[in-house]
Amino acid sequence: MPVVVRIDVELAKRKMSVGEFAERVGLGGLLVIGAVGLGVRIGRHPR
């Protein structure tokens, strides 16, 4: 799970879209969208 959160944080810091991120790192868009979606849900949990 730390990798998913890291992807989400990097996208937020760079204000980068999921599609742009997928193009830059060469991953399939569906895989990245699923990972980022999971990261967003993790980020919304109360601490």
37: containing domain: 2-43
Q: What is the pLDDT of residue 3?
A: 56
State which residues of the chain have pLDDT below 70.
1-5, 7-8, 22, 24-47
Identify the pLDDT of residue 5.
Answer: 61
Q: How many domains does the chain have?
A: 1
Alpha helices in 1-47, H assignment, sequence order: 2-14, 18-25, 29-43
**Predicted pLDDT at 20:** 76
Per the confidence metrics, is the pTM higher than 0.75?
Answer: no
Residue for token pair 């980020």: 43
Q: Which pLDDT score, from 0 to 100, does residue 28 have?
A: 53
Q: Residue 45 has what pLDDT?
A: 45
Q: Which residues contact 26 (CB under 8 A, 6 or more apart)?
A: none
